[in-house]
Structure 1
Amino acid sequence: MPTRLESAALLIGESFSFDAAPMGGGDLSEIWHLRFESGREAVVKFGGQAAAEAAMLRAIAATGAPVPEILAAQGDLLVLSFIRAARLSEAGWAALGKTLSTLHAANQPPRYGWSEDYAFGSMPIANAWTSDWRNFWRDYRLAPCLSFLPRETAARVSHIGRTLERFLPEAPRPSLLHGDLWGGNFILTRTERAETKAVLIDPASLIGDASADFAMLTLFSAPPESFWRSYGPLPDGYDRSIDVYRLWPALVHYRLFGQTYLGMVESLLDRLEV
C-alpha cells in the first residue's frame, strides 16, 4: 500500500523517488513540498476539501488572478504546482493589490453566496445562493456562530445581524472573493522578467461584496500605501462595512483557537455599537 505522499506522486504520474519536506502555514491542513528525480516540484495538501478548493482556484484563475496549477484533487488530497516564494516587500504588496483588483473586477452573475458548503477545519461554512447580500451575511456567516459564543456575546452578534442595513449594502456589485485573505494565503514570486507577482492560495471563495476580502487582511496586517494605491478605488461603503466583515474572521478564530480571540470579538462589537 503506497503512503499518502506516494499516492500523491502516483496521481501526477511521478515515481516514488522524491524528497519531501513539510511546509509551514497549514494550521488546519498538512502541507508537503515534494521534489522528484525528474526535477519536477509539487505541493501536496492533506486535510481539506480538495475538489471544492480546486473548484475555487479554477474560478479565481478564470478572472485572470494568479493561482497555482492544479495537478490533482482526490478526497482530502490536493496537489498543486510549487511556487518559489520571494520575500514580502513594497513591490510585493503592490502586486497583491493588483491581483486582488483583478479578482474583484471580473464580472459575476447577479447573485451572492456559493454553490456548496465548505469548512475551516472543524468549523463548517454553510453556503447557498441569495439575491440579498445582507441576508446572506446574517444567515450564513453571523448566525451560525451564535451557538458557540458566550450568551451575552451571542446576543450582541445577533443584534448586529438584525441591523445590517446600518452597515452593509443590500445589493453590492457581485465580486468573486478569495474569502480567507490573510498573509499566509498568498505567495509572492518573481517572474522571468524580474517582476513580482502575487499568487493566491487556500481560498474559501464566494460571490459577494469586495470589501469583505479586506477583513482578514486588515485584521491581522497593516498593508502599506503601495497595496492600496495598486488596488485602486475601494468598494462603495468600505468604511461603513469593514468592521462587520472583520467580525466574522474574529468569530472563526474564537471557535477554532479559543478564548484568546474573545477580546478581539468584543472589541469589534464595541466599535459597531457606537
Structure 2
Amino acid sequence: MTLTARIEALTGSRVARIRALHGGDLSEVAHLTLADGREYACKTGPMVAVEARMLEAIGDTAPAPRFVAGDLLLIDYLPEEPATPAHWRDLGRALRAQHDREGEAFGWPDAYAFGPVAIPNDPAPDWPSFWAERRLCPSLPFLPPDLAKRIEVLIATLPDRLPDLRPSLLHGDLWTGNVHFSGGRAWLIDPACYYGHGEVDLAMLHLFGSPPAAFWDGYGATEPGYDERQPIYQLWPALVHYRLFGSGYAGMVERLLSAAGA
C-alpha cells in the first residue's frame, strides 16, 4: 500500500497535498493537507511510535500526535513564525514547568537513537551512574585512546560533581532546531525524552549558541554549580556529533573535557 493510501485509510479523508519538510535523523517529514482541510506533519520512520509516546509525555508544549500506525505518525501541523522575546519567554516558562515534573527513576522505558547512534535509556540507581553508564561510556569504543582515557578520568569524578536529585522530564535533544515558534507560543518537537537533570536540556540549548535574555526571564534561576556542570553535560551531544559526523568534532570534545577539568 502506498503512503497516500495508508494516510487516507488512517484518516478517512483524501490526501490533497504532500509537501516535503526538513526532517530529523530518524524520520522523513512532510506537510500533509487533507481534502477536508485538516493539516498534519507526517513522519515516517522506524521509531515514530516511541516519538509519539514522548510527545504525549511532554503534553501541551508539544504538537499532539493524532494518528500512529507502524512507521507512520501524524501530528498537528504548526505554521512557523519568527521568534520574538515573548516566544522565548514562553519557552523558558514551559521548560521550567517540564523540568518540575518528576519521574520515578532516571531513564526512559524505551531505547532511542540519533540516526545510527543508539541511546540506551535503561534505569540507573542514581544520576551520576546514569550519566556515566548510559551517556558517556557507550562512546568510548568509538574514540581515539587519548580522548577515551580523558573521559574515563572524568567519569571517575562524577559522583562528587553531579548532584543527588529527583529525576526531571527532559526533552533530551533541545537545540534551537527542535524549538518551533507558532501561534505566539514555543513548541518542542523531535524529542528524545528521558528523566534526568534539567540542566542537560539547558546545556544542549547553549552548545551552539545562547538563547536571549527573555528565555531566562521565563525559566528563572539556575542551581549553584550550573556553570561547572555545563561542559560535563555538553560532552554527550559533542560525542554524538563526533560519532555521526566524524573527527571534525574532536576539537569540541577536547575543549569540553578541558573545561570540565579532565
For residues 19-98 of structure 1, what are the structure 2 equivalents within 5 Å?
19-61=17-59, 65-98=60-93
| 1:175 corresponds to 2:168 | yes
Q: Closer, same or farther in 2 for the Cα pair 1:130/1:144, shift >3 Å?
A: same
Determine the structure 2 residue equivalent to 1:187: 180
* 2:248 pairs with one of 260, 265, 272: 260
What do the CA deviations read for 1:107-153 (whole angstroms, capped 9, x no partner)? 433x2111121111111111112221000100000000001111111
For residues 2-21 of structure 1, what are the structure 2 equivalents within 5 Å?
3-15=2-14, 17-21=15-19
* 2:119 pairs with one of 125, 131, 143: 125
Is the contact made by 1:35 and 1:41 (CA closer than 8 Å) also made in structure 2?
yes
Is the contact made by 2:228 and 2:260 (CA closer than 8 Å) also made in structure 1?
no
Is the contact made by 2:199 and 2:226 (CA closer than 8 Å) also made in structure 1?
yes
* 1:232 pairs with one of 220, 226, 233: 220
TM-score w.r.t. the length of structure 2 is 0.94
The offset of 1:5, in angstroms, is: 4.0
Determine the structure 2 residue equivalent to 1:112: 106
What do the CA deviations read for 1:218-257 (whole angstroms, capped 9, x no partner)? 0012111110121012145322211111000000011111
Q: Closer, same or farther in 2 for the Cα pair 1:271/1:45, shift >3 Å?
A: same
Letter in 1 for 2:152: S
- Any stretches of 5+ residues in structure 1 without a counterpart? 191-195
Q: For 1:112, what is the secondary structure of its paired residue?
A: coil
Letter in 2 for 1:12: T
| 1:138 corresponds to 2:132 | yes
Q: Matched residue pairs, number?
A: 262
Is the contact made by 1:103 and 1:177 (CA closer than 8 Å) also made in structure 2?
yes
Is the contact made by 2:161 and 2:229 (CA closer than 8 Å) also made in structure 1?
yes
Letter in 1 for 2:197: D
| 1:270 corresponds to 2:249 | no
Aligned partners of 1:270 and 1:237: how far apart in 2?
A: 17
The offset of 1:27, in angstroms, is: 4.2
Aligned partners of 1:238 and 1:76: how far apart in 2?
A: 39
What do the CA deviations read for 1:81-115 (whole angstroms, capped 9, x no partner)? 10111112222211111110111112433x21111
The offset of 1:51, in angstroms, is: 1.4
The offset of 1:182, in angstroms, is: 0.8
The offset of 1:9, in angstroms, is: 3.6
- Any stretches of 5+ residues in structure 2 without a counterpart? none
| 1:216 corresponds to 2:204 | yes
The offset of 1:44, in angstroms, is: 0.9
Q: Closer, same or farther in 2 for the Cα pair 1:75/1:157, shift >3 Å?
A: farther
Q: For 1:222, what is the secondary structure of its paired residue?
A: coil
